[in-house]
Amino acid sequence: MKLTLKIWKQKNNSSAGKFETYSVEADEHMSFLEMLDVLNQSLLEQKKEPVVFEHDCREGICGSCSMVINGQPHGPNKGTTACQLHMRYFKDGQTITIEPWRAKAFPIVKDLVVDRSAFDRIIQAGGYISVNTGQAQDGNAIPIEKGLASEAMDAATCIGCGACVAACPNASAMLFTSAKVSHLGLMPQGEIEHTKRVQSMVTQMDSEGFGNCSNVGVCEAECPKGISIENIARMNRQYIGSVFGSQTKVEKA
Protein backbone atom coordinates (compact mmCIF):
# COMPACT_ATOMS: atom_id res chain seq x y z
CA MET A 1 0.00 0.00 0.00
CA LYS A 2 1.20 3.47 -0.94
CA LEU A 3 0.76 6.18 1.65
CA THR A 4 1.37 9.91 1.87
CA LEU A 5 2.57 11.01 5.30
CA LYS A 6 2.40 14.54 6.61
CA ILE A 7 4.68 14.51 9.62
CA TRP A 8 5.48 17.31 12.06
CA LYS A 9 9.18 18.14 11.96
CA GLN A 10 10.65 20.35 14.66
CA LYS A 11 14.32 20.66 15.59
CA ASN A 12 13.75 21.45 19.27
CA ASN A 13 11.33 23.23 21.57
CA SER A 14 12.70 26.70 20.83
CA SER A 15 12.56 26.43 17.05
CA ALA A 16 9.45 26.57 14.89
CA GLY A 17 8.15 23.36 13.40
CA LYS A 18 6.36 22.54 10.19
CA PHE A 19 4.86 19.61 8.33
CA GLU A 20 6.98 17.62 5.88
CA THR A 21 5.37 15.37 3.31
CA TYR A 22 6.76 11.90 2.65
CA SER A 23 5.55 8.95 0.66
CA VAL A 24 6.07 5.42 1.84
CA GLU A 25 5.35 1.95 0.53
CA ALA A 26 3.98 -0.08 3.43
CA ASP A 27 2.56 -3.54 3.98
CA GLU A 28 -0.86 -3.93 5.59
CA HIS A 29 0.57 -6.41 8.11
CA MET A 30 3.04 -3.85 9.46
CA SER A 31 2.44 -2.00 12.67
CA PHE A 32 2.31 1.78 12.48
CA LEU A 33 5.81 2.04 13.95
CA GLU A 34 7.18 -0.54 11.49
CA MET A 35 5.79 1.61 8.71
CA LEU A 36 7.72 4.57 10.19
CA ASP A 37 10.83 2.33 10.41
CA VAL A 38 10.51 1.65 6.68
CA LEU A 39 10.22 5.38 6.05
CA ASN A 40 13.27 6.13 8.18
CA GLN A 41 15.30 3.38 6.51
CA SER A 42 14.63 4.91 3.12
CA LEU A 43 15.38 8.41 4.45
CA LEU A 44 18.72 7.18 5.82
CA GLU A 45 19.56 5.55 2.49
CA GLN A 46 18.85 8.87 0.79
CA LYS A 47 21.13 10.53 3.38
CA LYS A 48 18.17 12.52 4.73
CA GLU A 49 17.34 13.08 8.36
CA PRO A 50 14.97 10.43 9.74
CA VAL A 51 11.75 11.23 11.57
CA VAL A 52 12.32 11.14 15.31
CA PHE A 53 9.69 9.25 17.28
CA GLU A 54 9.68 7.57 20.66
CA HIS A 55 9.23 3.83 21.04
CA ASP A 56 10.29 1.10 23.40
CA CYS A 57 8.40 -2.12 24.10
CA ARG A 58 6.27 -2.17 20.96
CA GLU A 59 3.76 -4.36 22.73
CA GLY A 60 1.45 -1.68 24.08
CA ILE A 61 2.60 -1.52 27.68
CA CYS A 62 5.38 1.08 27.93
CA GLY A 63 3.47 4.16 26.78
CA SER A 64 6.32 5.59 24.70
CA CYS A 65 4.84 5.71 21.21
CA SER A 66 3.15 9.06 21.60
CA MET A 67 1.78 10.45 18.35
CA VAL A 68 -1.48 11.91 17.14
CA ILE A 69 -2.55 10.11 13.98
CA ASN A 70 -5.19 11.89 11.87
CA GLY A 71 -6.40 13.88 14.86
CA GLN A 72 -6.55 10.99 17.33
CA PRO A 73 -3.88 10.02 19.87
CA HIS A 74 -2.57 6.55 18.97
CA GLY A 75 -4.75 6.59 15.85
CA PRO A 76 -8.28 5.52 15.03
CA ASN A 77 -8.48 2.20 16.87
CA LYS A 78 -10.05 2.00 20.31
CA GLY A 79 -7.86 0.70 23.13
CA THR A 80 -4.74 0.54 20.97
CA THR A 81 -1.33 2.17 21.21
CA ALA A 82 0.37 3.37 18.01
CA CYS A 83 2.76 0.40 18.11
CA GLN A 84 -0.17 -2.04 18.18
CA LEU A 85 -2.03 -0.24 15.41
CA HIS A 86 -1.81 -2.13 12.15
CA MET A 87 -1.63 -0.65 8.69
CA ARG A 88 -4.62 -2.70 7.55
CA TYR A 89 -6.79 -0.06 9.22
CA PHE A 90 -5.63 2.44 6.60
CA LYS A 91 -6.52 2.58 2.93
CA ASP A 92 -4.14 2.41 0.01
CA GLY A 93 -3.36 5.93 -1.21
CA GLN A 94 -4.47 7.54 2.06
CA THR A 95 -2.84 10.67 3.48
CA ILE A 96 -1.97 10.31 7.16
CA THR A 97 -1.15 13.33 9.31
CA ILE A 98 1.13 12.60 12.27
CA GLU A 99 1.62 15.17 15.02
CA PRO A 100 3.23 15.15 18.45
CA TRP A 101 1.20 15.48 21.67
CA ARG A 102 0.25 19.15 21.89
CA ALA A 103 0.32 20.50 25.43
CA LYS A 104 2.19 23.30 27.13
CA ALA A 105 3.15 20.88 29.90
CA PHE A 106 4.67 18.49 27.32
CA PRO A 107 7.37 20.53 25.52
CA ILE A 108 8.56 19.10 22.21
CA VAL A 109 12.02 17.50 22.31
CA LYS A 110 12.26 16.80 18.60
CA ASP A 111 9.74 16.01 15.85
CA LEU A 112 7.21 13.65 17.44
CA VAL A 113 9.00 13.26 20.77
CA VAL A 114 7.71 15.25 23.73
CA ASP A 115 9.05 15.60 27.25
CA ARG A 116 6.54 13.94 29.58
CA SER A 117 8.51 14.43 32.78
CA ALA A 118 5.61 16.50 34.13
CA PHE A 119 3.96 13.09 34.71
CA ASP A 120 7.03 11.89 36.59
CA ARG A 121 6.87 14.92 38.87
CA ILE A 122 3.19 14.21 39.59
CA ILE A 123 4.18 10.66 40.59
CA GLN A 124 7.04 11.98 42.71
CA ALA A 125 4.60 14.25 44.53
CA GLY A 126 2.63 11.32 45.95
CA GLY A 127 2.28 8.42 43.57
CA TYR A 128 3.85 5.90 45.92
CA ILE A 129 3.31 4.13 49.22
CA SER A 130 5.83 4.36 52.05
CA VAL A 131 6.91 0.88 53.10
CA ASN A 132 9.50 0.24 55.76
CA THR A 133 12.17 -2.17 54.63
CA GLY A 134 12.18 -5.68 55.95
CA GLN A 135 10.80 -9.01 54.89
CA ALA A 136 8.00 -8.97 52.36
CA GLN A 137 4.87 -10.17 54.09
CA ASP A 138 2.62 -12.88 52.79
CA GLY A 139 0.55 -11.70 49.85
CA ASN A 140 -2.70 -12.86 51.40
CA ALA A 141 -2.09 -11.40 54.86
CA ILE A 142 -4.22 -8.33 54.09
CA PRO A 143 -7.69 -9.28 52.88
CA ILE A 144 -8.89 -7.26 49.88
CA GLU A 145 -12.35 -7.47 48.37
CA LYS A 146 -12.22 -8.73 44.78
CA GLY A 147 -14.28 -5.90 43.29
CA LEU A 148 -12.01 -3.34 44.88
CA ALA A 149 -8.90 -5.18 43.72
CA SER A 150 -10.25 -5.23 40.16
CA GLU A 151 -11.06 -1.53 40.26
CA ALA A 152 -7.56 -0.73 41.50
CA MET A 153 -6.10 -3.02 38.84
CA ASP A 154 -8.13 -1.30 36.10
CA ALA A 155 -6.75 2.06 37.22
CA ALA A 156 -3.24 0.61 37.48
CA THR A 157 -3.26 -0.38 33.80
CA CYS A 158 -2.53 3.30 32.99
CA ILE A 159 0.77 3.31 31.10
CA GLY A 160 1.29 7.06 31.50
CA CYS A 161 1.48 7.61 27.75
CA GLY A 162 -0.22 11.00 27.91
CA ALA A 163 -2.91 10.30 25.31
CA CYS A 164 -5.48 11.72 27.73
CA VAL A 165 -3.65 15.04 27.82
CA ALA A 166 -3.16 14.98 24.06
CA ALA A 167 -6.84 14.31 23.40
CA CYS A 168 -8.29 16.69 25.98
CA PRO A 169 -9.45 20.03 24.51
CA ASN A 170 -7.93 21.63 27.63
CA ALA A 171 -4.80 19.45 27.77
CA SER A 172 -5.83 18.35 31.25
CA ALA A 173 -3.98 15.60 33.10
CA MET A 174 -6.92 14.62 35.29
CA LEU A 175 -7.36 11.11 33.87
CA PHE A 176 -3.70 10.21 34.41
CA THR A 177 -3.53 11.72 37.90
CA SER A 178 -6.85 10.22 38.97
CA ALA A 179 -5.82 6.76 37.71
CA LYS A 180 -2.71 6.91 39.87
CA VAL A 181 -4.58 8.30 42.88
CA SER A 182 -7.18 5.56 42.49
CA HIS A 183 -4.92 2.58 41.99
CA LEU A 184 -3.00 3.39 45.16
CA GLY A 185 -5.85 4.78 47.26
CA LEU A 186 -8.19 1.86 46.69
CA MET A 187 -5.74 -0.58 48.28
CA PRO A 188 -5.40 -0.87 52.07
CA GLN A 189 -1.64 -0.25 51.80
CA GLY A 190 -2.19 2.97 49.85
CA GLU A 191 -5.19 4.20 51.78
CA ILE A 192 -3.00 5.15 54.75
CA GLU A 193 -1.32 8.07 52.97
CA HIS A 194 -4.31 8.78 50.80
CA THR A 195 -5.32 12.25 52.06
CA LYS A 196 -1.87 13.70 51.64
CA ARG A 197 -1.38 11.90 48.32
CA VAL A 198 -4.48 13.22 46.58
CA GLN A 199 -3.68 16.79 47.65
CA SER A 200 -0.01 16.77 46.67
CA MET A 201 -0.63 15.08 43.33
CA VAL A 202 -3.39 17.54 42.37
CA THR A 203 -1.25 20.49 43.50
CA GLN A 204 1.68 19.22 41.41
CA MET A 205 -0.62 18.60 38.43
CA ASP A 206 -1.91 22.18 38.64
CA SER A 207 1.57 23.66 38.88
CA GLU A 208 2.69 21.84 35.70
CA GLY A 209 0.36 23.98 33.58
CA PHE A 210 -2.16 21.36 32.50
CA GLY A 211 -5.67 22.64 31.81
CA ASN A 212 -8.77 22.09 33.93
CA CYS A 213 -11.08 19.14 33.43
CA SER A 214 -14.32 19.97 31.59
CA ASN A 215 -15.74 16.44 31.80
CA VAL A 216 -15.65 16.13 28.02
CA GLY A 217 -14.74 12.46 28.36
CA VAL A 218 -12.58 12.27 25.25
CA CYS A 219 -9.66 11.14 27.44
CA GLU A 220 -11.55 7.99 28.38
CA ALA A 221 -12.46 7.35 24.73
CA GLU A 222 -8.88 7.82 23.55
CA CYS A 223 -7.09 6.05 26.40
CA PRO A 224 -5.35 2.97 24.99
CA LYS A 225 -6.02 1.23 28.29
CA GLY A 226 -9.65 2.29 28.62
CA ILE A 227 -9.17 4.07 31.96
CA SER A 228 -12.60 5.28 33.07
CA ILE A 229 -13.48 8.85 34.04
CA GLU A 230 -15.05 7.30 37.13
CA ASN A 231 -11.50 7.72 38.43
CA ILE A 232 -11.74 11.48 37.88
CA ALA A 233 -14.99 11.60 39.86
CA ARG A 234 -13.33 9.56 42.60
CA MET A 235 -10.39 11.96 42.71
CA ASN A 236 -12.75 14.95 42.78
CA ARG A 237 -14.69 13.66 45.77
CA GLN A 238 -11.58 12.46 47.56
CA TYR A 239 -9.82 15.76 46.99
CA ILE A 240 -12.83 17.78 48.15
CA GLY A 241 -13.22 15.34 51.04
CA SER A 242 -9.58 15.70 52.03
CA VAL A 243 -9.83 19.49 51.99
CA PHE A 244 -12.80 19.65 54.35
CA GLY A 245 -12.64 16.34 56.14
CA SER A 246 -9.00 16.09 57.18
CA GLN A 247 -6.37 18.09 59.03
CA THR A 248 -4.13 18.30 55.94
CA LYS A 249 -3.97 21.82 54.52
CA VAL A 250 -3.92 22.29 50.75
CA GLU A 251 -0.67 23.80 49.55
CA LYS A 252 -0.28 26.41 46.86
CA ALA A 253 0.17 25.09 43.34
Closer Cβ to other proteins, 30 or 67, answer by number? 67
75: left (phi over 0), alpha (psi -120 to 50) or beta: left
Is residue 164 a contact residue for other proteins (CB under 8 A)? no
Q: Which stretch binds other proteins (CB under 8 A): 79-87, 127-135, 136-144, 232-240?
A: 232-240
Contact 165, 116 (CB under 8 A): no
User: Which 8-state DSSP code applies to residue 143?
Assistant: -
Element spanning 22, H or E: strand 18-25
Dihedral sign from CA coordinates of 75, 81, 83, 84: negative
Q: Considering the complex, state which of residue 75 and residue 190 has its C-beta at the smaller distance from other proteins.
A: 75
Q: Mark the segment that binds other proteins (CB under 8 A) among 30-38, 50-58, 63-71, 181-189.
A: 63-71
Question: Under DSSP, is residue 186 helix (H, G, I), strand (E, B) or coil?
Answer: coil
Nearer to other proteins by Cβ, of 84 and 231: the residue is 231
* Distance in angstroms (rounded) separating the CA atoms of residues 227 and 35: 28
What's the distance, Cα to Cα, between the start and end of the chain in Å?
A: 50
Nearer to other proteins, 70 or 157 (CB): 70
Between CA 198 and CA 250 the distance in angstroms is 10
Question: Comparing C-alpha atoms, which of 82, 173, 66 is closest to residue 127?
Answer: 173
| Contact status: 68 vs other proteins (CB under 8 A) | yes
> Considering only 38-46, 122-130, 155-163, 217-225, which stretch makes contact with other proteins by CB under 8 A?
217-225
Q: How far is the CB of 122 from other proteins (least distance, A)?
A: 13
Give CA–CA dist 73/101, Å, rounded. Answer: 8
Under the criterion CB under 8 A, does residue 2 sit at the interface with other proteins?
A: no
* Contact with other proteins (CB under 8 A) among 54, 99, 111, 154: 99
Distance CA 207, CA 112 (A): 24
CB atoms within 10 A of CB 246: 13
Q: Does 19 bind other proteins (CB under 8 A)?
A: yes
Query: Please, which residue, 85 or 232, has the CB nearer to other proteins?
Result: 232
CB of 243 vs other proteins, minimal distance in Å: 5
Does residue 104 bind other proteins (CB under 8 A)? yes
CA distance 173 to 121: 12
Q: Does 213 bind other proteins (CB under 8 A)?
A: yes
- Position 174 contacts other proteins (CB under 8 A): yes
User: Binding residues for other proteins, per CB under 8 A?
Assistant: 6, 8, 17, 19, 68, 70-72, 97, 99, 102-105, 167, 169-172, 174, 202-203, 205-206, 209-218, 221-222, 229-230, 232-241, 243, 249-253
